[in-house]
């Protein structure tokens, strides 16, 4: 080959390489450029930042009390559930009011879409508060919401995953004879299903965690940071790998939940209930007070049952182990291991920068003198410094501490326990020259929020939510603290 031909070929190859580099740079700038990475199709998602889609027709949404006419058992199970209370929840209403004042209704639609989907899409809800709303809007996540979901758009969302209500509401359809209601569920419809009031459609989606994922995965309205990641936690767990979905633990009695978690055996069809029971015992606690104040003893009893279920669920979720750590034959540390035994998601989950799950540990020598204390509450009902807490610390765009969900765009610390996993905490022991044994007691404790946070939220509700008139509360009480697990051990000071 002549020298000139070689030079020309090298030049061609160099130009081709240069073009490929430029093309790659252009492509990467299109695909990975900051704002465009989370592109939002506003036509596809008309209620953004809520990602609900509504197949609008002349078919109206159906109030829960109408459903109760043919489904009294399911209605009784749903009534008083966290789904039924989702919009009434005074803690939620306080947060909604603060968000409304800070960032406006265009943003708070994200919250409203999951706490009252029908009220949001119809435009009935225009902000915080309960005044003047229809029974359908006040019903929160009602029978007709879940049974009108015809599909999900998880892969079309800005993050290409479930969140912020990424489901499709299809309560019915228009026909030549007028609107027809259509309801979906996990079973093959029997003859006469719906009794002429609505059509019945079998929906495999209603047996899957993807149905729940839409609202149990919450992203920042603008930065798309996952503030709550319950679905993702489940998806990466042994439960997902073995086919145990949200419904298999949260739509059953406590005994069935424990069996599902321990054996990975799915419940029988007859074992499912419409409880939607989880860890939010504070909501049941408040709602029970409201029912008693209103003189509704049946509802109060219903809520007490659900409160007890939530407590048992939490007390079944975790276990504690206590292990001694010796150096040169002398006890120098106590290791406390907290194990997530039965939650199909992390402990805690949901709004982890608000939840508090912590270890309280005390060690005493043979005389009863305390040689170690950690994790107590101070006189203001706040956690003492250096307490081992399992939760998250939120931060805003400036990387400073933040707690409000419209500000939190990242976690500076994220310390929760994965399904079937564990976390260890170490406590130093200064026993001097003492001999014999020490008695160690460790408690895993839980409450919905820090006392000051709860006081701020409950004091921020709108004027139409009178806490004294509704709940009999003149001032925010001490938040109930639950012992999830307790363990005692006697440890020798010398090995």
CATH of the domain at 411: 2.60.40.10
Q: Yes or no: say if 351 and 405 are a contact pair by the CB < 8 Å rule.
A: yes
Lowest average pLDDT, out of 39-53, 222-236, 315-329, 425-439, goes to 425-439
Looking at the structure, do residues 355 and 478 belong to the same domain, yes or no? Answer: yes
- pTM of the full structure: 0.90
Of the residues 293, 311, 329, the one at which a domain ends = 311
Omega cis (within 30) before 49: yes
Amino acid 435: pLDDT: 77
Q: Is the pLDDT of residue 71 over 90?
A: yes
As a whole number, the mean pLDDT across the chain is 92
Looking at the structure, do residues 380 and 483 belong to the same domain, yes or no? Answer: yes
Confidence of residue 432 (pLDDT cuts 50, 70, 90): confident
Region 25-49: mean pLDDT is 70
Whether residue 33 lies inside any domain: the answer is no
Amino acid 35: pLDDT: 56
127: left (phi over 0), alpha (psi -120 to 50) or beta: left
More confident of the two residues 14 and 272: 272
Helix (H, G, I), strand (E, B) or coil at 484: strand
DSSP state of 269: G
Region 84-98: mean pLDDT is 97
Count of helix runs (H) and strand runs (E) in the chain: 18, 17
Q: Is the pLDDT of residue 33 over 80?
A: no
Looking at the structure, do residues 210 and 152 belong to the same domain, yes or no? Answer: yes
Looking at the structure, do residues 393 and 277 belong to the same domain, yes or no? Answer: no
Whether residue 243 lies inside any domain: the answer is yes
Amino acid 41: pLDDT: 94
Task: Note down the domain range covering 325.
Answer: 317-450+465-492
The secondary structure element, H or E, covering residue 338 is strand 330-340
Region 431-459: mean pLDDT is 92
Cα–Cα distance measured from residue 95 to residue 169, given in angstroms and rounded to the nearest whole number: 26
Question: In total, how many domains does the chain have?
Answer: 2
Looking at the structure, do residues 396 and 480 belong to the same domain, yes or no? Answer: yes
Looking at the structure, do residues 75 and 200 belong to the same domain, yes or no? Answer: yes
Whether residue 22 lies inside any domain: the answer is no
Q: Which residues of 23-33 are buried (b: 16+ CB within 10 A; e: fewer)?
A: eeeeeeeeeee
Q: Is the pLDDT of residue 6 over 70?
A: no
Region 46-62: mean pLDDT is 97
In the numeric block, which tokens belong to residue 98?
Answer: 């603060």
Confidence of residue 398 (pLDDT cuts 50, 70, 90): very high
Q: Is the pLDDT of residue 13 over 80?
A: no
Of the residues 248, 281, 311, the one at which a domain ends = 311
Looking at the structure, do residues 244 and 330 belong to the same domain, yes or no? Answer: no
Lowest average pLDDT, out of 25-39, 51-65, 440-454, goes to 25-39
Whether residue 263 lies inside any domain: the answer is yes
CA max distance for the chain: 102
Looking at the structure, do residues 335 and 217 belong to the same domain, yes or no? Answer: no
Quick one: what percent of the chain has pLDDT higher than 70? Answer: 93
Of the residues 245, 278, 311, the one at which a domain ends = 311
Q: Is the pLDDT of residue 204 over 50?
A: yes
CA distances from 424 to 93, 320, 337 (A): 36, 10, 4
Whether residue 141 lies inside any domain: the answer is yes
Looking at the structure, do residues 108 and 132 belong to the same domain, yes or no? Answer: yes
Amino acid 36: pLDDT: 75
Q: Is the pLDDT of residue 18 over 50?
A: no
Looking at the structure, do residues 228 and 344 belong to the same domain, yes or no? Answer: no
Looking at the structure, do residues 353 and 227 belong to the same domain, yes or no? Answer: no
Looking at the structure, do residues 277 and 321 belong to the same domain, yes or no? Answer: no
**What phi, psi does 367 have (nearest 5°)?**
-85, -5
Cα–Cα distance measured from residue 391 to residue 445, given in angstroms and rounded to the nearest whole number: 12
Amino acid 58: pLDDT: 96
Region 203-208: mean pLDDT is 98
Q: Is the pLDDT of residue 224 over 80?
A: yes
Amino acid 225: pLDDT: 97
Amino acid 31: pLDDT: 38
């Amino acid at each position: 080959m002549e020298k000139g031909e070689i030079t020309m070929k090298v030049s061609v190859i160099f130009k081709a390489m240069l073009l490929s580099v430029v093309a790659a740079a252009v492509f990467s700038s299109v695909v990975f450029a900051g704002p465009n990475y989370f592109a939002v199709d506003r036509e596809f998602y008309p209620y953004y930042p809520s990602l609900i889609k509504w197949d609008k027709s002349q078919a109206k949404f159906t109030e829960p009390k109408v459903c109760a006419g043919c489904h009294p058992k399911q209605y009784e199970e749903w009534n008083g559930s966290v789904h039924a209370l989702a919009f009434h929840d005074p803690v939620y209403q306080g947060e909604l009011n603060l968000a409304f004042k800070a960032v406006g209704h265009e943003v708070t639609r994200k919250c409203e879409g999951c706490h009252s989907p029908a009220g949001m899409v119809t435009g009935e809800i225009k902000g915080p508060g309960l005044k003047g709303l229809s029974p359908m809007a006040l019903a929160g996540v009602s029978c007709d919401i879940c049974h009108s979901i015809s599909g999900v758009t998880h892969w079309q969302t800005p993050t290409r995953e479930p969140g912020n209500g990424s489901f499709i509401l299809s309560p019915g359809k228009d026909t030549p004879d007028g609107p027809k209601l259509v309801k979906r569920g996990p079973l093959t419809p029997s003859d006469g299903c719906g009794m002429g009031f609505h059509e019945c459609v079998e929906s495999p989606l209603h047996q899957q965690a993807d149905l729940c994922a839409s609202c149990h995965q919450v992203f920042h309205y603008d930065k798309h940071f996952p503030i709550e990641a319950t679905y993702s936690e489940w998806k990466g767990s042994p439960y997902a790998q073995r086919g145990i979905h949200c419904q298999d633990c949260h739509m059953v009695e406590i005994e069935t939940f424990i069996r599902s978690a321990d054996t990975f055996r799915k419940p029988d069809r007859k074992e499912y209930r419409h409880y939607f029971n989880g860890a939010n015992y504070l909501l049941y606690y408040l709602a029970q007070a409201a029912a008693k104040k209103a003189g509704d003893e049946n509802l109060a009893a219903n809520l007490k049952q659900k409160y007890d279920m939530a407590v048992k669920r939490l007390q079944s979720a975790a276990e504690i182990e206590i292990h001694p750590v010796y150096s040169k034959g002398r006890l120098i540390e106590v290791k406390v291991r907290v194990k997530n035994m039965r939650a199909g998601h992390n402990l805690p989950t949901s709004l982890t920068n608000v939840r508090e799950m912590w270890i309280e540990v005390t060690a005493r020598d043979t005389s009863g003198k305390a040689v170690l204390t950690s994790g107590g509450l101070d006189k203001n009902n706040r956690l003492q410094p250096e307490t081992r807490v399992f939760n998250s610390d939120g931060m805003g765009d400036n990387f400073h501490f933040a707690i409000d969900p419209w500000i939190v765009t990242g976690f500076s610390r994220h310390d929760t326990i994965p399904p079937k996993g564990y976390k260890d905490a170490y406590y130093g022991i200064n026993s001097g020259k003492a001999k014999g044994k020490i008695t160690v007691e460790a408690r895993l404790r839980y409450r919905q929020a820090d006392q000051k946070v709860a006081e701020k939220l409950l004091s921020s509700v709108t004027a139409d939510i009178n806490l004294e008139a509704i709940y009999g509360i003149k001032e925010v009480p001490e938040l109930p603290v639950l012992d999830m697990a307790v363990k005692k051990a006697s440890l020798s000071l010398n090995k």
